[in-house]
Amino acid sequence: MTPSNDTPTKTAFVTGASRGIGAAIAMRLARDGFVVGVGYRSGEDGAKAVCESIAAEGGRAMPVRVDVTDPESVKDAVAAFVKETGGLDAMVANAGVVENNMAVFTGEEALAAMVETNLSGAFRSAKAAIKPMMRRGGGRIVIISSVAGLMGNPGQAVYSATKAGVIGLAKALARELAPKGILVNVVAPGLIDTGDGGMIEGIPPEHRAAAESLIALGRAGKPEEVSGVVSFLCGADSTYLTGQVVTVDGGMRM
């Protein structure tokens, strides 16, 4: 859905928003008054469905194809969204991939895919947001990490490394961009059940049960329990928060 001329001033771009946590973030930001760019790489139908759901609730959103592994794609996608909506107030770098394997069996292709999507993709998304936000006088960048980046997971050496890397990225950007009024924070979800074939779907039942036994609340989280935190970090009540890592894991890591 293309926003009309009476578009609210708040705008947000979410990468990897065609399903799962990204879709929940896009929906929540729209409910909170943002016009949302629903970024997708291959899930066009999912992105359109998210936009239709937002429109059904009275919000505004537009699907935007973006491949975060391609610098030109990111730059062009953000530029197109800014041209359509008039500016950019929030960027949520959510796009991510995982391939579970022991380090000794992890191939170069899997290594490159995770680094390019999870780490380089987050950098490209943040970079593309800086100039539009400076023209706005400030903004919010939220990068989605994982508890894997804080504690490390066996079978996820590369994934854990990329998710740790985005924390360092966010902290450096937070210091660099604070004088520009741009706040940069990280949300690190724990075990989140998206119910749509997402990242935890391939976990064997016994491994999932073992993981849930470590969670104080005794269960996996829901995408909406992540999206509310992201929305807070993009909103007016987080003006003194930057360079922080907010862990949303039900008490897995305390």
Model confidence over 31-71: pLDDT tens digits? 999 999 999 999 999 999 999 999 999 999 999 999 999 99
Give Cα 10 distance to the centre of its chain: 18
pLDDT digits (tens, 9 = 90+) for 181-222: 999 999 999 999 988 656 666 677 877 788 888 999 999 999
Return the pLDDT at 161: 98
**Residue 166, phi-psi category: left (phi > 0), alpha (psi -120 to 50), beta (remainder):** alpha
- Collect all residues with Cβ–Cβ distance below 8 Å to 29 and sequence separation of at least 6: 12, 14, 36, 90, 92, 227, 230, 231, 234
* Summary mean pLDDT of the chain: 94
pLDDT of residue 1: 41
pLDDT-derived band at 8 (thresholds 50, 70, 90) equals very low
Q: In the structure, what pLDDT confidence band is assigned to residue 6 with cuts at 50, 70 and 90?
A: low
Please give the share of the chain, as a percent, with pLDDT higher than 70: 94
d(CA 53, CA 177): 34
Q: How far apart are CA 42 and CA 201, in angstroms?
A: 19
| Mean pLDDT of the region 104-125 | 97
Q: Give the number of other Cβ atoms within 10 Å of residue 87's Cβ.
A: 18
Q: Give, in degrees to the nearest 5, the angle at Cα 169 between 189 and 240.
A: 75
pLDDT band at 2 (very low <50, low <70, confident <90, very high): very low
Could you tell me if residue 170 is left (phi over 0), alpha (psi between -120 and 50 degrees) or otherwise beta?
A: alpha
Listed in sequence order, the residues at least 6 apart from 174 whose beta carbon sits closer than 8 Å to its beta carbon are 183, 184, 185, 242, 243
Q: Which CATH architecture has domain 11-248?
A: 3-Layer(aba) Sandwich (3.40)
- The pLDDT of residue 148 is 95
Compute the average pLDDT of residues 91-118.
Answer: 97
pLDDT (0 to 100) of residue 197: 57
Cα–Cα distance for residue pair 174/167, rounded to 1 Å? 10
Torsion of CA 164, 168, 173, 176, to 10 degrees: 180
pLDDT of residue 140: 98
Q: Is the pLDDT of residue 104 over 60?
A: yes
Please state, in angstroms and rounded to a whole number, the distance separating the CA atoms of residues 37 and 48: 11
Per-residue confidence (pLDDT) for residue 109, from 0 to 100 = 97
* Long-range pairs for 106-114: beta carbons < 8 A, 24 or more residues apart: 106/157, 106/158, 110/158, 111/158, 113/69, 114/158, 114/159, 114/162
Tell me the residue type at 4. S
| pLDDT grade for 4, boundaries at 50, 70 and 90 | very low
Is 159 designated active site?
yes
Where does 87-205 show beta strands of DSSP type E?
A: 90-93, 139-144, 182-189
Least Cα distance to 142 among 87, 194, 188 occurs for 188
Q: Give the three-state DSSP class for 8.
A: coil
Least confident span in 7-16, 154-163, 170-179? 7-16
- Per annotation, catalytic residue among 140, 159, 184, 186: 159
End-to-end CA, the chain = 42
pLDDT on residue 210 = 83
Q: Tell me which of 15-24, 94-103, 189-198, 237-246 is least confident.
A: 189-198
pTM: 0.93
Q: What is the mean pLDDT of residues 234-241?
A: 97
